Amino acid sequence: MLLRILHRTCYHYQGPVDHAQHMLHLSPVDTAVQQVLAHRLRITPEPAAQSQARDAFGNLRSFFTLQAPHESLCVEADSLVQTQLPAPLPIAAAAATTAAPAVATTAGAAPSIPATAAKALSIVPSSAASDLATADAPPAPAWHAAWLPSWEAVREHYRYRAGAPYDAASEFLFASPHVPRDDAFTAFARPAFAPGTPLLAAAQALMERIHRELRYSPASTQVNTPALQALAQRKGVCQDFAHIMLGCLRSLGLPARYVSGYLLTRPPPGKPRLMGADASHAWVSVYVPCMASGASAAPPPEAGPVAAALHAQAQQAGGSWFDFDPTNRRSGWSSPGEDYVTLAVGRDFSDVSPMRGVIQGGGAHELEVGVTVAPPEELQALQARKGSAADARGAKAQPPQR
């Protein structure tokens, strides 16, 4: 899927800003299922200096300096990204499954979860779940074995041991500014993490529970609302849901990271897509280390080229990241879907804030943010329509000619 993203951020200051230093996380990254074809930053006023560098997590950060007085600042990131349909989670044949309840999603079919997890979360009657769990199920393909360690095995794998070799995923085990480790998270997660449950199946069940029991409610939280508060009030936005899922996983000793990006949305039936009406999105990645002899078995051709490529990369890296979006109840290997664009990863939102900086002067300010995600032809048509409307308004405002 070819997607173009326009992310526009404008600050209007009460008074002149004499000097400013800013840092941006607005440049998408190449991943196993997405390729950045073009990217451009437009900054007004023109920066006195501008540079880019990779951060500790591999994200591309941009820095710029403004040294002349200014009363407004506009930054527009324009990206063209080619995405692929990600491979599904390699858990389908690991256990008997039952369809999850029908819940509206942004796109795609509702996933299924292991019957043991369904029983724990009361998604199906416990008797039905027991019958499914004990029914004869086809054996998991040999190549699935690498991705079926229990959550307890992964927790023990990452338990601290003196002299253990460094594992980059361990950076995502600890508390971070927006995600503490807390017993409240552990208690919320426990029903999904029955003894012996494969980590991916448990993470899927946890995602299901967050989606089902927490209400998406715009303006119910702020960017700095603690995750524990959002959990207690059982409502929030995508950032809160991601922070809550991270808190649950890390409180159980499991590595998980925050992902910021974009999602292609669909306007209401009969309504046109509007410029700037989208928003940034956030979800979660869970890391599974290769811990079984099956890691050497290659996926069969019917698994698809994406699964084969991801499996081969994981063999070299010693593990792989699997993505879960609790807001929309979607998951996949390296991305929740073809209509997602990954922007940056970190411990939580504070590591990947789209724009932050330090200014001298300015006083109070007003902030305007607009995001548009669309196929390139559709976005170009939107821009043309917007330009025509602006020209028409300008013509009406012109005084009559004598």
Cβ atoms 282, 259 nearer than 8 A: yes
pTM (2 d.p.): 0.84
- pLDDT digit string, tens, across residues 33-92: 999 999 999 999 999 999 999 999 999 999 999 999 999 999 999 999 999 999 999 875
Q: What is the overall mean pLDDT for the chain?
A: 84
- pLDDT digit string, tens, across residues 146-192: 788 999 999 999 999 999 899 999 999 999 999 999 999 999 999 99
pLDDT at 293 over 60: no
How sure is the predictor about 109, in pLDDT bands with cuts at 50, 70 and 90? Answer: very low
Whole-number Å distance between alpha carbons of 24 and 102? 39
Q: What is the pLDDT of residue 101?
A: 32
Cβ-count burial 64-94 (b if 16+ within 10 Å, e if not): bebeeebeebebbbbbbbebbebbebbbeeb
Facing residues of 359 across strands?
Answer: 20
Q: Which of 383, 381, 382, 376 is nearest to 1 (CA)?
A: 376
Cβ atoms 16, 75 nearer than 8 A: no
Query: How many CB atoms neighbour CB 58 within 10 A?
Result: 12
Q: Which stretch of DSSP H or E encloses residue 340?
A: strand 340-346
Q: What is the pLDDT of residue 289?
A: 93
Asked whether the bond before 45 is cis by omega within 30 degrees of 0, the reply is yes
Report which residue type is found at 252. L
Q: Which of 292, 291, 281, 334 is nearest to 35 (CA)?
A: 334
Q: What is the pLDDT of residue 200?
A: 96
Helix, coil or strand: residue 328: coil
Report the pLDDT averaged over residues 108-129. 32
Q: Which domains are seen in the chain, by residue range?
A: 2-84+353-397 (2.60.40.2250), 97-270+279-350 (3.10.620.30)
Whole-number Å distance between alpha carbons of 224 and 310? 35
Q: Which of 5, 16, 9, 26 is nearest to 74 (CA)?
A: 9
CA atoms within 13 A on the CB side of 52: 10
Residue partners of 259: CB distance under 8 A and separation at least 6: 242, 282, 283, 284, 285, 323, 342, 344, 345
Q: What is the pLDDT of residue 392?
A: 52
Q: Is 381 left (phi over 0), alpha (psi -120 to 50) or beta?
A: alpha
